[in-house]
Structures are given as structure tokens and as C-alpha cells.
Amino acid sequence: MPKPTPISLEEINNTVRIPDAKSGFFRKLWAFSGPGALVAVGYMDPGNWITSIQGGALYGYLLLSVILISSLIAMLLQAMCVKIGIVTGMDLAQATKTLVGKKTSYCLWITTELAIIATEIAEVIGGAVALNLLFKIPLLIGVLLTVLDVFILLCLMQFGFRKIEAIVFCLIATIFIIFVYEVVRASPEFSQIMNGFIPKRDIFTATIKGHDSALMLALGIVGATVMPHNLYLHSSIVQTRKYNRTNKTSLKEAIKYATLDSNIQLTFSFLINCLLLILGATLFYGNNPDDLGRFTQLYDALKNPHIVGTVASSTMATLFAVALLASGQNATITGTLTGQIVMEGFINLSVPLWVRRIISRGLAITPVILCIYIWGDRENIVENLLVYTQVFLSIALPISMIPLILLTSNKHKMGDFVNSQLTMIVGWVATTVLIILNVELIYETIQSLF
């Protein structure tokens, strides 16, 4: 007789109460709200910042359409994650393991761990740069200080999962308010912004000598927006709510409210990513691309009236750095939880949370420290590393997308909650297009090396 599937993140599974069936719509939505916020932070981490800012500074509003399409794909995929978690009682890693053999599970685990490390690298760089901007702490020291995130997360876990969700949502709101303020001050052209949401052929052809092509940055935006590790995270933490696991009506209601929560929170991340690109395009497009587009340059430019004009102020620059620090701290919380999910799901290995946190952060800071040691304490070096981590995430994404679509389209596993024909078609088209674009990216990268 086969062993029963272990409970995903058992310490927080089925711990958050929800109101009874007679409660109103908004009360139920509030009870299910939270997991979407933890997922959304992965869509607005420092990796998104650098790709969106550079995309705006180099190519204006051209890549807004990429953010829009990526966000819609993200909403579709996260809705699938909600279904697989609620209907099967398994997270994506556990469910994927039922499709593949032991060796394949190990390969998928390693690939997913690398994706998590790539995400962690972005958080380390973003946090170190923010500390440098706010307190003039050298990048190397800032990178080492990010290890303290270990203790922050462990302290937060003591307050319960609902408290973590609230803290994360407050940080998201802080980032959103800051960038609404800064974009309003920058006074962008509304008609140009709306035009940017229309996909154009230039995305595939536009280049600027000595800088990443529009396609490279577009794939970086996809990798930074549709995060592979979020698929595993969401399928697990959506199970924290105390819904009836055996009643079809209860499952349907849980899927409905959890999907609404996800879409609302992902709309916030979509808006923030758009605001980042709009800020970069409004203030810096048309200027010398060598002088703009990086965190420190953007920070300095926000204080320089010769570049930004009358909107320049030290307050604008400081708020930008505070938002960057909040973004890195936000994403740190979710990385550790995801690492535990994929480790337990793929290879049935469980380790204490603090051990997992130290190992994952240690692996993340190592390449950053090596970059600083070899090429010096230069922000452009570490930010280039950050951009390439986002491209890697885009390449790793289909490895997570394919099992997710296969599983949620399986009538035997999903029953009445199986994907509709339209959902299946859209999912497979998105996956196929992404794979084709990644092949083009690899070809372009190889060509640039020779």
C-alpha cells in the first residue's frame, strides 16, 4: 500500500479560520486574502526593478506590453496553482512527483533550487544597493548584512502566518504609494503610456549598441514577472485556510475566493512594475544610456534638476531607496518557504527553517561576493548579474509551467475542476511561445560572445 502524501508545510497548513457559509462576500474574501500577497511580492522584487527601469530608460514605453502579457499569464498560472493545491491537497512539487520518476524529481528539484537562488541573488543585490544609497554602506558589507534576513524571518514566523501576510501587504502598499507619488510628479504622457500596452515588432528587433537588446530585457521582464518558485509557493500556502477538504461546494468556494485574492494582489504587482518602467521612460528615455538606468544612477538623477527637472528632490530619491529596501525584504520571506516546499515535495527532505535559510542565503551571496572581489565594488557589475538571474528565471519557467498545465488538465486528478479547453489552449500557447523566445535568447547570447 503506497504511503500517504505528506502535508505541505504542515506547521501552517489548515491553520487560518474562515467564516461560516452565511457570511457575506467581503468577509469571506478578507479571510482568504493573504496568500496572494506573498505570491505578489515575487513579482515586484529587485529583479523586476532593474529590468523594468532599464527597459524604460533604453526603449521608452515599448516594453509595457510585455509587462501586461506577463501579468495576464501570471494570473492564469497562479489560478491553476490555487486549483491544484485546493483540489488535490498537494503542492505543485508533490503533484509533479506523481507524474515523473525519482531521478526526474531530483533534476526538477535542482533546477527549481537554482531558480530560488537566482531570486535570492536579486534580493541580496537590491538590499545591498538600498543600504548603500540610504546609509553609504559599501556593497560588500551590505551583501553580508543581508544574512540578517535569516533572523527577521525566524522572528516573524513566531507571530503566526496571518501576521506575516499582513506585514507583507503593508510593505506592498508602501512600495505602491511611493511609486504612484513619484510617477505623478514625473508627469508622463498618458497617450504614450496607453500606446506602450500595444505589442510591437520592435520588441524583437530594437537594439542599442553596447546594451541589452529589447528582446533580452523583455525576457528578463518575463522572468522577473512570472516567477517559477511562486507556482510552488502558491499551491502550498493556499492550503492554510480551514475549508472543508471533502465537500465539493466548499472546494469550489475556496477556489473562487483564493483566485480573487490572487488576481487582486497580482494587479498591484502589475501596476508597480508598470510604474517602474514609466518612471524610467519618463525621466530618462532619450538621455545617454550609459549614464542612466541603474539603481544608483536613478537615485542620483532623482535629486538632479538638470536631468529630472523640477520634480528633482532628495525626498524622491530617499523614497525610492526605501521602496527598494522594502522590496528586497518582502521577497526574502517567500524564498525560504518555497525552498522548503520544493525540498519536501520533490525529495522528501525536511530541515529546520533556520538551516534552510542560512544555506539558501549563503548560496545567494557567494556569486555576488565573487563578483565584487574580482571586478571591484562597482554597482554596474552586480546589477548585470541581477539582470542575468532574471533571464535564467525565464529559461527555468517552462520546467514548472509544463507539469502545472498537465496536472490541472488531468480529469483523473482534478475531477470537475479540470481546466477548460480554452484555459488549456492559452496555457500551452503561452508555454510554447516562451520556449521559442528562450531559444532565440540563447542563440542571441551565444552570438554576442563570439
pLDDT value at position 82? 96
pLDDT value at position 307? 61
3-state secondary structure of 16: strand
| Confidence category of residue 129, pLDDT binned at 50, 70, 90 | confident
pLDDT value at position 329? 67
On the question of pLDDT at 1 being above 70, the answer is: no
Buried b / exposed e over 234-254, threshold 16 CB at 10 Å, is: bbbbbbbbebeeeeeeebebb
Domain that holds residue 254: 25-112+161-309+379-449
| Confidence category of residue 315, pLDDT binned at 50, 70, 90 | confident
Question: 166, 405, 138, 189: which is closest to 296 by C-alpha?
Answer: 138
- Give 258-269 as a DSSP string: HHHHHHHHHHHH
**What is the distance between the alpha carbons of residues 274 and 278, in angstroms, rounded to a whole number?**
6
Instruction: Please compute the mean of the pLDDT values over residues 329-348 and round it to a whole number.
Output: 80
On the question of pLDDT at 336 being above 80, the answer is: no
Domain annotation covers residue 346: no
Alpha carbons within 13 A on the beta-carbon side of 369? 13
Span 170-215, pLDDT tens digits: 878 888 888 888 888 888 888 999 999 999 999 888 888 777 788 8
Q: How many separate domains does the chain show?
A: 1
Question: 228, 264, 326: which is closest to 36 by C-alpha?
Answer: 264
Give me 233's grid cell.
Answer: 509557493
Domain annotation covers residue 171: yes
Q: Are 279 and 183 in contact (CB under 8 A)?
A: yes
Taking the CA atoms of 114, 119, 125 and 128 in sequence, report the sign of the dihedral they define. negative
Instruction: Please compute the mean of the pLDDT values over residues 263-286 and round it to a whole number.
Output: 88
| Confidence category of residue 237, pLDDT binned at 50, 70, 90 | very high
Domain annotation covers residue 146: no
**Which of 108-112, 249-253, 300-304, 427-431 shows the highest mean pLDDT?**
249-253
Global pTM reads 0.87
* CA distances in angstroms from 191 to 276, 285, 310, 357, listed in the order given: 17, 16, 22, 46
Domain annotation covers residue 250: yes
**What is the distance between the alpha carbons of residues 236 and 225, in angstroms, rounded to a whole number?**
20
Greater confidence (292 vs 415) lies with 415
| Confidence category of residue 133, pLDDT binned at 50, 70, 90 | confident
Domain annotation covers residue 268: yes
**What is the distance between the alpha carbons of residues 17 and 240, in angstroms, rounded to a whole number?**
9
**What is the distance between the alpha carbons of residues 268 and 289, in angstroms, rounded to a whole number?**
29
- Torsion angle, alpha carbons of 124, 130, 132, 136, to 10: -150
Domain annotation covers residue 181: yes
Domain annotation covers residue 425: yes
Residues 6+ apart with CB under 8 A from 145: 127, 128, 131, 137
pLDDT value at position 250? 93
Domain annotation covers residue 133: no
Strand partners, 152: none
Taking the CA atoms of 307, 309, 377 and 275 in sequence, report the sign of the dihedral they define. negative
Instruction: Please compute the mean of the pLDDT values over residues 52-80 and round it to a whole number.
Output: 91
Q: Which H helix or E strand runs over 314?
A: helix 314-347
Span 362-412, pLDDT tens digits: 877 888 888 887 877 666 667 677 767 767 777 777 888 899 999 999 999
On the question of pLDDT at 41 being above 60, the answer is: yes
Instruction: Please compute the mean of the pLDDT values over residues 355-361 and round it to a whole number.
Output: 75
Alpha carbons within 13 A on the beta-carbon side of 12? 21
Instruction: Please compute the mean of the pLDDT values over residues 219-239 and round it to a whole number.
Output: 83
Question: 342, 336, 343: which is closest to 358 by C-alpha?
Answer: 336
pLDDT value at position 42? 76
What is the rounded average pLDDT for all residues in the chain? 83
Q: Are 107 and 113 in contact (CB under 8 A)?
A: no
Instruction: Please compute the mean of the pLDDT values over residues 93-121 and round it to a whole number.
Output: 87
pLDDT value at position 266? 93
Catalogue the long-range contacts made by 419-423 (C-beta closer than 8 Å, 24 or more residues apart): 419/80, 423/76, 423/80
